[in-house]
Amino acid sequence: MIVFETVRIKVRKWRLSDFDTLLAVYGNPDVCRYIDDGSPLSPDEARAWLSVTENNYEKRGYGMWALTSRDTGATIGFGGLVHPGNQKTPEVKYALDVNFWRQGFATEFVSAACSHGFDCFALNSIIATVAAENGASIHVLEKCGFSATGNQLESDGSITRIFQKTAI
């Protein structure tokens, strides 16, 4: 099921057949470098995440989605609006297959995902969290109109930067 489209991306709900691609993207150490503790996703974690995402669709109407190329139909990554740890404010997340980095897909997705959340779910605000050293993602967020709102010190001593975008 297509959730929304951009110029180059079709965004759809996850399905069980996404398992192998999900594992390939989130199993890549380069992709996971700035996600949580930097560890690639295990097969069991991927299965659990598919289940959690299905529950989010039912509970909130949104969650993580598969991002596919409008030209080729290939899955280029995953992204969505989520509530990690049941946090109140929705958070935009994304991870692209490394073959699709530095081509503007992240900016295209984040911008459209925020618009979708504001327009279709009447969200007032969306946050994003990013490792302080992840300059590429910080640049994406700034291009999409997010503003830095603070820093969070993590238990391992690293810094997570917090960004926010509000509905217009």
Six-digit token string for 154: 């993590």
Q: Is-contact 67 79, C-beta < 8 A?
A: yes
pTM value is 0.95
The topology under which CATH files domain 2-166 is Aminopeptidase (3.40.630)
Asked if residue 41 lies in contact with residue 19, where contact means CB atoms within 8 angstroms, the answer is: no
In residues, how long is the chain? 168
- pLDDT at position 38 is 86
**Rounded-to-integer distance, Cα 48 and Cα 59, Å:** 16
Reported as a single tens digit per residue, the pLDDT across 108-162 is: 999 999 999 999 999 999 999 999 999 999 999 999 999 999 999 998 889 999 9
- pLDDT of res. 114: 98
> Would you kindly state where each structural domain of the chain is located, as residue ranges?
2-166
Measured between alpha carbons, how far is residue 123 from residues 23, 25, 70, 127 in Å? 30, 28, 27, 11
